[in-house]
Amino acid sequence: MTSMFVRRTTSVARKEVLHLLRDPATLFFALFIPVLELFMLGYAIDMNVRNVRTVIFDQARTQESRTLLRAFETSEDFEVIRSVQTDEALYEAIVKGDAHVGIKIPEDYSRRLQAGQTAQVLILVDGSVSSVAAEAVNVGNALALRESLRMALGDKPLPVESRPRVLFNPDTRSANFFIPGLLVVMCQLMATQLTANAIVKEKMNGTLEQLYMTPVRPWELILGKSVPYLVLTFVEMVGITVLMVIIFRVPIHGAFVTLLAIALPFILTMIGAGLWISAKADTTDAAGQLVMGTVMPSIFLSGYVFPVDSMPVIFQWVAQVVPTTWLIDASRGVILRGAGWRELWPHAAILWSMALGVLAASITKFRKHL
Amino acid sequence: MGAAIEVRDVTVKFGTVTAVDHASVTVHAGEVFGMLGPNGSGKTTLIRALCGLLPLAEGSARVLGYDVTKEAEKIRAAIGYMSQKFSLYSDLTVRENMEFYTGIYGLSRTVATQRQDELIQLTGLGPYIDRRAGHLSGGWKQRLALVCSLLHRPKLVFLDEPTAGIDPVARRDLWDLLFRLSAQGVTLFVTTHYMDEAERCNRVGYIYLGHMLAEGTPAELKALPGITPPETKRLEIVGPDTSALLEAIRQKPGIHEATIFGQAIHILVDANITARDLGVDSVEGVKVETAEPSLEDVFVTLSRLQSAKGE
C-alpha cells in the first residue's frame, strides 16, 4: 500500500514538473518578476529623503539671510532649483510640482535678529507627498534650531548632545530594510499563485474530473502537486538572497538555514491558501484575483512597507494573524539583527500552527468539492 | 460473475433537483451496454454515482460486486473512465500521458511497460508516441484517452459519449476497437446520441429526465408493447419534399407520431389508415410502405409516453 502511495504521488509530482518545463512563460514570470522587483526596490526606491527640490524667496538679502540659505543648500536634504521674487511665484512653484519646499526669508529678518527679537523664516511644504513633507519639516526645524543655538552660544560647546547609533543597518539603507521583506512577499505570491493555478487549470481542462475517477486520493494529488512548487519557492528564496548579498551588499548576520527552516511552514501555509483558492475559483483569472486579494493585505499589514507599530491598534491585532508578518520579522531578524532559534522559535511555532490549520481547512474544502 | 453493474431503485439529488429518479438497470459482465437519453437526462450523473463520486439519496448499486457507497476506492481501482471531453494533458506527449496514468494506477515499471506496448499495438498509437497530446487529431486523442483508461486492465470501462465530435471514420475505428476489447472480456458501458452506435450494442438502456424508461436488446426494445400499440401501425413515406409532406400529414386525423428521417417520414397511425387517407397517394414520386420501428422511433415514443404521463 505504501508503494502504491509513493507511485501515485511521485507520478503526480513528475507530471507537475513536466508542466512547468513545458510552460516557459509561467516559469519565466515566476522567476523573473521577483528579480525585477528586487532591482526596482534595491535601486530605484529610496525611502530616505534626499535632494528635495526647493525654491527660495530671499526678501531680506542680507549677510544673515544668505548664511541661513547656505545651511539649507549644503544639507543634502534640499536642492535649491531657483530663486523667486514674489510670494505668488513661491506658491505657484509648489502647486505646479516644480518644487516640494519653498523657503521665504522676510524683509525684517536681520533687523529683528539684531534687535534681539525672534526672526521668522517661512517654510512652505508640499503635504501631498507625506514622507517628504515630514522630513522637510524636521530638517527645517533642525536647521533653524542650529542657527539659533549658534547665535545664542557663540563659541561655547553645546550643553547636551545626542549621539544616535543605528544598530544593524548603520547607514539606514532602504535596501537593507526592503529586501528581507521582499523575499517573503515574493515567496508568498509564488507559492499561492502557482498552487492555485496548477489545480484550477486541471479543473478547466476536465483533467481533474478524470483523476477523480481513478484511485488517486485527494491528499496524494495535493502532496504530489505541492512538492515541486515548494522546491521552486525555496529556489527562488535562495536566488533572491544571493542577489541581495552580491549585488546589494546586504550582509546576512545570522544563519540563513534558520530562516529557510522557518520559511517551510510559511510556504506550506501559502500552498494551503492556493489550494483553498483553487476550490473556490473556476478559472485562472478568478484565481489570480483571489491571490491578489490575499497578497495585498499581507503587503500592507505585515510591516513590509509600513511599520506595524504605527498602525491603529485594531490593525496591529490583524497583523498578528497575517502569516507574512511573522516571516518578515524573522527574515529581518536573521538577516539584519543576527537572530537565531533562541529569539525566533515563537515565529516558527506560530507559523507551524498556521500551516497545519490552513492546510487542514483547505484539504477538507478541496475534498468536499469532489 | 453475472452482473457487472447492478443498479436498484437509485435516486441521485443535487440539492432539491432530482437528477436520477428511482432508476434500476443491470449490465451483464462482458457485454457492450449502450446508455441513451437526451442531454441532461442523467447519464453522466449516473456514471459519477456508480464511481462513488455522488452520494445515493435512495436505493443501492453494486459495480463489479463492490458496493458503491462503501467500496468506492475499490471500484475506482478496477474500472476505467473516458469522458466526453478530451481530458488528458495537452502539453504532455502521448508517452508521458500514459506514464502518468500507469503511476496513478500504481503499476510497477515492468507491468507498466508491457501494458503500454500492448495498448500501443492495439490502437496503433506507435508513430505518435512522442507527439504532444494537444497536437493529435480528434480521433487519435480519443484513442489515447481510451488507452489511458485501459492501462490497469479494468474489467469495466465507462465511456461517456466517446465519439462526440469526431469524424465518421474515426468513430467507426473507435467502435472496432471497443468490440475488440469486448471480445477480450471487458464490459463496456457507453453513453451515446448516435442511433447506429446504439444498434451495435448488445443491450441498450434509455433514460429520460432521470427516469430509466426501458432496457433490453435493440430487438426487445422495438418489440415493446407500447411502441406500436394495438390498432396502430408504422408506415414509412419516402418522397421528394419531406418537410412539406410532413406539414400536410400532420393535419390529417388518426396520426399519432410523424418524424422526418432523412429522405423518409416515419409515422405511427391508426391501423385502418391508407395512403389515400393521408392524401399522398396521388403525389408524384411518393411511396408508402409498412415499416418496423427503428430504435429512434422507440425512444421518441417512450419520451412522448413519459411526458404524457407527467402532464
Q: What is the pLDDT of residues B248-307, one digit of tens each?
A: 888 888 888 888 887 888 888 888 887 778 777 777 778 888 888 888 888 888 888 888
CA–CA gap between residue B53 and residue B50 (Å, rounded): 7
Residue among B209, B204, B210, B211 nearest B294 (CA):
B204
Cα–Cα distance, A187 to A191 (Å, whole number)? 6
Q: How many CB atoms lie within 10 A of CB A366?
A: 19
Amino acid at the residue B265: I
The residue-averaged pLDDT of B6-23 equals: 89
Min Cα separation B40/chain A (Å): 18
- Tell me the mean pLDDT per 10 residues along chain A, length 370: 84 93 84 85 71 89 87 84 90 88 90 86 84 82 84 78 76 81 91 91 89 87 90 92 90 92 95 91 91 89 86 90 94 91 94 94 74
CB B143 within 8 A of CB B125: yes
Q: What are phi and psi of B289, to 5 degrees?
A: -135, 150
Interface test with A, best of B82, B100, B104 (most A CBs within 10 A): B104
Distance from CA of A266 to the nearest CA of B (A): 29
Q: What DSSP state is assigned to residue A309?
A: G
Q: Which residues of A touch B (CB under 8 A)?
A: 3-4, 7-8, 10-12, 14-15, 18-19, 22-23, 205-207, 209-217, 370
Q: Contact at 8 Å (CB) between A325 and A301?
A: yes
Fold of B232-292: Alpha-Beta Plaits (3.30.70)
- Phi and psi angles of residue A248, each rounded to the nearest 5 degrees, phi first: -100, 0
Which pTM was predicted?
0.80
Looking at the partner chain, which of B81, B88, B99 has a beta carbon nearest the beta carbon of A213? Answer: B81
Q: Does A23 contact B91 at a Cβ distance shorter than 8 Å?
A: yes
- pLDDT band per the 50, 70, 90 thresholds, residue B52: confident
Q: What angle separates helix A174-205 from helix A323-335, to the nearest 10 degrees?
A: 140
Q: Which helix (H) or strand (E) holds A223?
A: helix A218-246
DSSP run (H or E) holding B10: strand B3-14
CB-based contact A211 B104, cutoff 8 Å: yes
Q: Which of B87, B111, B152 to mutate to test the interface with A (most CBs of A within 10 A)?
A: B87
The answer to whether A10 contacts B73, with C-beta atoms less than 8 Å apart, is no
Cα dist. A186→A178, A267, A274 in Å? 12, 11, 14
Report the C-alpha gap between A117 and A109 in whole angstroms. 10
What per-residue confidence (pLDDT) applies to A48? 67
Is it true that B3-220 and B232-292 share their CATH fold?
no
Provide the percentage of residues in chain B whose pLDDT is more than 70: 99
The strand pairing partners of B191, in sequence order, are: B35, B160
Sign, CA torsion A181/A186/A191/A193: positive
What pLDDT does B87 receive? 83
Cell numbers 391501423 label which residue? B271
The DSSP code sequence of A146-183 is: HHHHHHHHTTSPPS--------S-TT--HHHHHHHHHH
Looking at domain B3-220, what is its CATH homologous superfamily?
P-loop containing nucleotide triphosphate hydrolases (3.40.50.300)
**Per-residue confidence (pLDDT) for residue A13, from 0 to 100:** 94
Q: What is the 3-state secondary structure (H, E, C) of B124-144?
A: CCHHHCCCEHHHCCHHHHHHH
Give pLDDT, residue B155: 93
**What pLDDT digit, counting tens, does each position of A170-200 carry?**
777 778 888 899 999 999 999 999 999 988 9
Cell for B142? 480519443
pLDDT at B311 over 70: no
For residue B63, is it left (φ>0), alpha (ψ between -120 and 50) or beta?
beta
Report the share of chain B in percent with pLDDT over 90: 32
Residue of B nearest to A221 (CA): B104
B265 bridge partner residues: B237, B260
Residues of A in contact with B73 (CB under 8 A): 215, 217
Confidence of residue B28 (pLDDT cuts 50, 70, 90): very high
Q: What is the pLDDT of residue A370?
A: 53
Instruction: Tell me what pLDDT residue B231 has.
Output: 84
Interface test mutation site (partner A, options B48, B89, B98, B108, max chain A beta carbons within 10 A): B89
Domains of chain A plus CATH, in order, are 2-45+172-368 (no CATH), 52-153 (3.40.1710.10)
B159-217 pLDDT, tens per residue? Answer: 998 888 788 888 888 899 899 999 999 999 999 888 888 889 999 999 998 889 889 99
pLDDT the model gives residue A230: 93
Measured between beta carbons, the chain A residues lying within 8 angstroms of B144 are: none
Q: What is the ipTM of this complex?
A: 0.81
A220/chain B closest Cα distance in angstroms = 10
Q: Is the pLDDT score of B1 beyond 80?
A: no
* CA distances (Å), origin A77, targets A122, A327, B36, B205, B223: 17, 34, 81, 86, 99
Grid coordinates given for A138: 524636521
Chain B: nearest CA to A195, how far in angstroms?
17
Structure confidence at residue A369 (pLDDT)? 53
Q: Do B90 and A213 make contact, defined as CB atoms within 8 angstroms? A: no
Considering only alpha carbons, which residue of chain B is nearest residue A20?
Answer: B91
| Count of A-B CB contacts under 8 Å | 72
Please tell me the distance from the alpha carbon of residue A359 to that of residue B47, in angstroms, as a whole number.
Answer: 31
Q: What pLDDT is attached to residue A335? A: 92
> Which residue ranges make up each domain of chain B?
3-220, 232-292
DSSP structural state of residue B41: S
Which helix (H) or strand (E) segment is B266 a member of?
A: strand B264-270
